[in-house]
Every structure is written in structure tokens, then in C-alpha cells.
Structure 1
Amino acid sequence: MPAYLITHAENRRGDMLVEDAELTLTFSGNWAIFSDSQGPSFAIPAEQASCIERVDEPQEQEPAPQRG
């Protein structure tokens, strides 16, 4: 499931992990806007977030077939 790690610009205790498979992230002006199928869910002013990073769970990979 995709998640977004939002690193707060001034206060590391304000960092937040948002886990929701339905959310998409867009940028408009100085705002980062998280939306779902119903529309915008919440927005963060750019000056409050130093970094917004998408974090996906590692995918399980099957080993490559062996030649033999």
C-alpha cells in the first residue's frame, strides 16, 4: 500500500506518515493537496513541509528460475 512521509520543515516531531491506498498527491501553487475519489482530503502549505516522499511497501519477489 502506498504511503506518504511528510517531513515537517521546522519541527521533526511534526513528521507524519499518511497511509491510504486511495490518496493521490498533487501540487497547486504553494499547497500539497491529498485527494481521494471524493475530492480533496487535506492540504499542507509548502512552507510547513520540507519533504513529501512516497513510501511503498517492498514487493515480494519470487526468485528467478534456475537453468539446469
Structure 2
Amino acid sequence: MPAYLIKHKRGPSGDAIIEDPDLTLAFSGDWAIFSDSDGPTLALTTDQATSIQRIDPDDDGQEQDDTTIKGPAPQE
């Protein structure tokens, strides 16, 4: 299921996770717009969020992060 961690500029107390089976993210100018099957659900400007990170759960129900390594290291 698509899930996103939104980190707020004012600190962790303003952070949020949103998820929905039909959730999509699009960018328009300085806006990040989240939508589902019913249309837009949340819009944020770059003034509100420092980052938006997709954090879909793995098949085992655990959240992913940038440090998760899957499979062998690439061979050069």
C-alpha cells in the first residue's frame, strides 16, 4: 500500500504519515499534491515540508527506509 512520511520544517512534532491503497503523489510548481480515487486529498507547499519519503511496508509488514539492503551488492 502506498505510504509517505512527510517531514515538517518545524520539527518532528509536525511530521505525518499518510497511506491509502489508491494514493498517488504529483508535483505542480511548489506544490506536492496527494490524491486517491476520489481526487486530491492533501496539498503541501515547499514552505511546509522539508522532505517527502515513500515508505511502503515490505511484504512482511515492516517499513522500508533508505538503509534497507535487498539482495547482493552490485558487482563492478
Please provide the CA RMSD for this pair: 1.2
TM-score normalised per structure 2: 0.71
Which ranges of structure 1 fall in alignment gaps of 5 or more residues?
Answer: 61-68
Higher strand share: 1
TM-score normalised per structure 1: 0.78
Identity %: 53
Higher helix share: 1
Q: Which runs of 4+ in 1 moved over 3 A?
A: none
Would the aligned equivalents of 2:20 and 2:36 in 1 still touch at CA under 8 Å?
Answer: no
Structure with larger Rg: 1
Which ranges of structure 2 fall in alignment gaps of 5 or more residues?
Answer: 61-76
Q: Amino acid of the residue matched to residue 28 of structure 2?
A: S
By relative contact order (CA 8 Å, sep 6+), the higher-ranking structure is: 1
Aligned residues: 60
